[in-house]
Amino acid sequence: MPLLSRIYIRTALVWLVVGSTLGGVILWSKASPVPGAWSWLAAHISLLTWGWLLQLTLGVAYWILPRFGAERPRSYLAVIAYLALNVAMLLAAFAGLLGRPWAVAAGGWLQLFALAAFCLHAWPRARRSAYGK
Amino acid sequence: MPKLARWYVKSAMIYLVLGAVLAALALSNAAPLPRGLLALRPLAWHLLTFGWATQLIFGVAYWMFPHLSKQAPRGNERVLWAAFWTLNAGLLLRAVGEPAVSLWPGALPPAILQAAAVLQVAAVWLFAAETWPRIKALAH
């Protein structure tokens, strides 16, 4: 497993743990109210959809899509996608909590940029493998 | 595919079907929905994202991630089985408790939802802790 995939997948696991714990607090608060629990809802959703599900998918895709020999060409695009995705996700998760609606919008655009960068990296790799299948 | 991976993946598929049914019933905005269906909305989302997607990932990761060692290739099996049971017990308790709290507040003891929360979070922590060392370069 290449270094960048390990970084993607470990980061995804961290956001899974953080996002699920926030979700656990929110669910607990449905039984006995926890002050401020519902203010974490946007962070819970953002961390688990973008930070966990999507990020894990991208990390595994970077690992297992067909390579060109031993190379994963234009891997810098996947690095840019990783950085942009995590900054964007943190903006989307926490900017609303801090009362910065412009940052939520900026996070949305940065997420789009991150995904475009990853797709540019991955597009030529979605091809016949070296085994001919 | 090892036994635990099969259990994760098959359980995930059951939640996919149940979640899809609930989503079809409760997530539509085409017409005003009765209160009983609106109370199922959070459950529909969590059956699909946690019961299906996350549990499927757990099963496939357990199966396919790089092995740790020859003695314990996939880590501590007891911990990973515990993660499977806590995940599913937590989700089933949630399936009972969450709509009930919304429809009939006070009818069920709060401990049901509290246990659901603790079990689901525990499942994630257990699986993440056991999977973390398997995220490594493949040994050649």
Domain that holds residue A70: 3-125
For the residues of B40-62, what is the DSSP string, one character each? Answer: THHHHHHIIIIIIIIHHHHHHHH
pLDDT tens per residue, range B85-95: 999 999 999 99
Partners of B117 on chain A (C-beta within 8 Å) are: 23-25, 27-28, 31
Residue B140 has pLDDT above 60, yes or no: no
With CA atoms as reference, report the closest residue to A76 among A127, A125, A116, A118.
A118
Tell if the CB–CB gap between A28 and B113 is shorter than 8 Å.
yes
* Residue of chain A minimizing CA distance to B42: A27
- For chain B, the average pLDDT equals 94
Rounded mean pLDDT, B48-70: 96
Is A31 buried (19+), middle (13-18) or exposed (0-12) by CB count in 10 A?
A: buried
Q: How far is CA B81 from the centre of its chain?
A: 13
Q: Which of A10, A31, A49 sits opposite B101 (nearest CB)?
A: A31
Partners of A9 on chain B (C-beta within 8 Å) are: 135
pTM: 0.93
Among A5, A30, A48, A63, most B C-beta atoms within 10 A, so best to mutate, is: A30
Chain A residues within 8 A (CB-CB) of chain B?
1-3, 6, 9-10, 13, 16-17, 20-21, 23-25, 27-28, 30-32, 48-49, 52-53, 56
Rounded mean pLDDT, A99-116: 90
Rounded mean pLDDT, A102-116: 92
With CA atoms as reference, report the closest residue to B65 among A115, A64, A93, A45.
A64
pLDDT tens per residue, range A48-107: 999 999 999 999 999 999 988 888 989 999 999 999 999 999 998 888 777 788 888 899
Size of the A and B interface in Cβ pairs below 8 Å: 69
Among B102, B121, B127, most A C-beta atoms within 10 A, so best to mutate, is: B121
The DSSP call for residue A5 is: H
Q: Which of A2, A20, A52 sits opposite B120 (nearest CB)?
A: A20
Q: What is the spatial distance between Cα A23 and Cα B25, in angstroms, rounded to a whole number?
A: 24
Q: What is the spatial distance between Cα B101 and Cα B103, in angstroms, rounded to a whole number?
A: 6
Structure tokens at B15: 């939640």
Partners of A31 on chain B (C-beta within 8 Å) are: 97, 101, 110-114, 117
- What is the residue whose two structure tokens read 């969450």? B98
Among B46, B65, B114, most A C-beta atoms within 10 A, so best to mutate, is: B114
Q: What is the spatial distance between Cα A82 and Cα A114, in angstroms, rounded to a whole number?
A: 7
For the residues of A99-131, what is the DSSP string, one character each? Answer: T-HHHHHHHHHHHHHHHHHHHHHHGGGSS--TT
Residues 6+ apart with CB under 8 A from A82: A4, A7, A8, A11, A58, A114
Residue spans per domain, chain B: 3-134
Q: What's the complex ipTM?
A: 0.93
pLDDT at residue B112, as a whole number: 94
Structure tokens at A103: 């940052």
In a domain, A49, yes or no: yes
In a domain, A133, yes or no: no
Percentage of residues in chain B having pLDDT higher than 90: 83
Instruction: State how many domains chain A has.
Output: 1
Q: How far is CA B68 from the centre of its chain?
A: 24
- B105 or B13: which carries more pLDDT confidence? B13
The DSSP call for residue B32 is: P
